[in-house]
Amino acid sequence: MCGIVGYIGKRKAWPVLFKGLERLEYRGYDSAGIALLQNGAFSVYKKKGRVVELSKFTKNQNQLSGGVGIAHTRWATHGVPSDRNAHPHLSSGGDIVIVHNGIIENYLSIKKILVGKGYRFKSDTDTEVLANLIEDIKKHTKVEIDEVVRLALAQVSGAYAILVLSKDEPGTMVVAKVGSPVVIGIGKKEFFVASDATPIIEHTKKVIYLEDGQMATIKNSKLLIKTIKNKTIKNPYVHTLKTKIEELEKGGFPLFMLKEIFEQPKSLADTMRGRIVLDKGNVKFGGLEKFEKQLRSINRLTITAMGTARFTGLIGEYAFEELAGIPTKVEYGSEFAYREAAVDENTGLLAISQSGETKDTLNAIKEAKKKGMLTLGIVNVIGSSIAREVDAGIYNHVGPETAVASTKASTSQALLQIMLAIYLGRMRFARGLSKSKAKGILKEMQKLPALAEMILKSANNIKKLAKKYKNYNNFFFLGRKYNVAAAMEGALKLKECSYIHVEGMNSTELKHGPISLIDKNFPTLIIAPIDSMYEKNKSSIQEIKARGGPVIAITSLGNKELENITDDVIYIPKTLEMLTPILAFIPMQLLAYYIAVERGNDVDKPRNLAKSVTVE
């Protein structure tokens, strides 16, 4: 969850590290800190709060020298957010400084041993334990710091990405990874290390993704990668980044979330670009081609994901069964690895993750591979852990998503699953999808960017609704069939951005208990387009209104009927039933954004949240 940055080279480290923290702040923002190696000793600057608070705290940053440093922006696990628990952490003797993303599971037993040896701890974190363990081993061995770190890591269990410096070896930086992401950027006699590529892009396009169980030693302008377990030397593959620096900027929008909402016409088009073969009524996925034989034999599919990605999987569940005739189940990534799921070699696993680093989903993939399942992925971040772990995958190609609340990635995920359902449906003989039906869906699909643009033109109307509903403390979001998932996702957006209690559910569940909550102070948003569920949804509206509850309806453009029985109506263009959730996402994203702004919240960085969940 946390963000780590490191620099070693000839330029001043502070500006590189600080800018890197700004780029990574979406990963955690409880506290931030930087450690520099200056004049043979470590200078550590850290502060509770956002990265900007670190800047205010460090008045003389222009005078700070040193070409070696590490930095951290925190999402708290062990120890409350505070100055003392902020990273980087120094060892008791000041020989070692460390930043860490992840969790050391056996830190308490190690801490007990170290306390018995006379070590004193200034924080509540597991990371400080690791710093002192490294220092203790260093005292009792005569090996270089990379070997000291390796020996220390042999004693710990858990997940981590760490950067370590020793004041006795000022030209060396040690990096290690198990479970948490690390990218190393290669410059001209300089190296950049980070949790993802966003802090690196403006300095170099050449990067290496460290694999699980590997460590890197940067020394004398050289990089050596080896395994933690047995010191086997590895020759890494050097990737070339394609992300442009302007994609990481706000581009004239006040916040990243609004920018990313408005990017959806383009991101939907980019998701489809080069993949739709209309004359054949089919879809092309280059990453799946060599697995076609195995894909034909799939008779069941498990979709695994967490959060927004899981809700889009519920849309996929309907699509795979309707278009490909494949029985499909959506599973929490966190549960798949810990249950006796009824699967076999003909059950496929589809993992969905924007970041490609979601720890629970990654664990599910590893478990599925043990069971002999074919593993597929839908991922936005190229080179991420999930992208490398699955047998075959599909990239979203929507560009970086910086706001914590997912918007353009979620509509892309839903769209890709429907495209994949067409792809699988067209290759199945027994319950195949006809060419004519597939062409009809694909034609409607190609209209989505323009339809999304139409919705965005009504943003001011949704902004007015936000002013009207900003002070309510509870909401229901309802839908049926494909739009159950849309209702759940819309509810998540509102709760994570505005801190309003929201429940998303199937409309028909209302009468099985939740309707007891309805009164004049409990509004409901219901997704009720003109589709197979319209009359059912209309009945739910009547039930709510009969009990005095305010209702906002999302319905098809041109349908004026609901204006007479609801309080407010949001219109979306007509499309196929299975594509409706993609369009319904957009006004709910806008409503969540504008209500959060009205309530004075930090929309891009909601409290207690981080963009990428890399710990269980």
Pair 308, 489: CB distance under 8 Å:
yes
Pick the more confident residue, 614 or 112. Answer: 112
Q: Answer for the pair 612, 600: CB distance below 8 angstroms, yes or no.
A: no
Q: Tens of pLDDT along 67-91?
A: 899 999 998 888 898 999 999 999 9
Torsion of CA 13, 197, 85, 14, to 10 degrees: 10
H helices of 428-564, where? 435-445, 448-456, 459-469, 482-498, 534-545
The residues carrying an active-site annotation are 2, 611
Taking CA atoms, 24 is separated from 44, 73, 106, 162, 234, in Å, by 19, 7, 27, 15, 28
Tokens encoding 462: 């949704």
pLDDT classification of 61: cutoffs 50, 70, 90: low
Strand duo 474-479 + 501-506: pairing: parallel
Yes or no: say if 544 and 576 are a contact pair by the CB < 8 Å rule: no
pLDDT in tens, 97-134: 999 998 999 999 999 999 999 999 999 999 999 999 99
How far, in Å, are 250, 334, 364 from residue 367 at the CA level?
39, 11, 5
Exposure string (b/e) for 6-40, b if CB count within 10 Å is 16 or more?
bbbbeebbbebbbbbbbbbbbbbbbbbbbbbbbee
3-state secondary structure 550-579: CEEEEEECCCCHHHHCCCEEEEECCCCHHH
Are 36 and 66 in contact by the 8 Å Cβ rule? The answer is yes
Q: What is the DSSP letter of 179?
A: B
When pLDDT is cut at 50, 70 and 90, the band that residue 345 belongs to is confident
SS3 29: coil
- Write phi, then psi, for 526 (nearest 5 degrees): -125, 130
Q: What is the mean pLDDT of the chain?
A: 93
Whether the full predicted model's pTM is greater than 0.75, yes or no, is yes
**Are the CB atoms for 189 and 235 separated by under 8 Å?**
no
Ordered by where they begin, the domains of the chain are 3-247 (3.60.20.10), 251-446 (3.40.50.10490), 456-598 (3.40.50.10490)
Q: Is there a contact between 34 and 69 (Cβ–Cβ < 8 Å)? A: yes
The residue written with tokens 């970086």 in the block is 400
pLDDT band at 66 (very low <50, low <70, confident <90, very high): confident
Q: Report pLDDT digits (tens) over 581-613.
A: 999 999 999 999 999 999 999 999 998 887 767
CA–CA separation, 147 and 262 (whole Å): 49
DSSP string, 80-144: -SSTTTPSPEE-TTSSEEEEEEEEETTHHHHHHHHHHTT---SSS-HHHHHHHHHHHHHHT--S-
**Residue 602 contacts by C-beta under 8 Å, 6 or more apart in sequence?**
none
For range 476-499, the mean pLDDT: 97
How far CA 463 is from CA of 161, 406, 572, in Å, comes to 42, 19, 16
382 contact partners, CB below 8 Å, separation of at least 6: 239, 242, 395
Would you give the DSSP letter of residue 176?
Answer: E
Q: Which of 212-226, 348-362, 423-437 has the lowest mean pLDDT?
A: 423-437
Pairwise CA distance, residues 146 & 152, whole Å: 10
Whether the CB-CB separation of 488 and 314 falls below 8 Å is answered with: yes
Question: Which SS3 state, helix, strand or coil, does residue 275 take?
Answer: coil
Q: Whose CA is closest to 112, among 126, 98, 100?
A: 126
Query: Binning pLDDT at 50, 70 and 90, where does residue 429 land?
Result: low
Q: Parallel, antiparallel, or unpaired for β 172-178 and 158-166?
A: antiparallel
Tokens matching residue 415: 């769209």
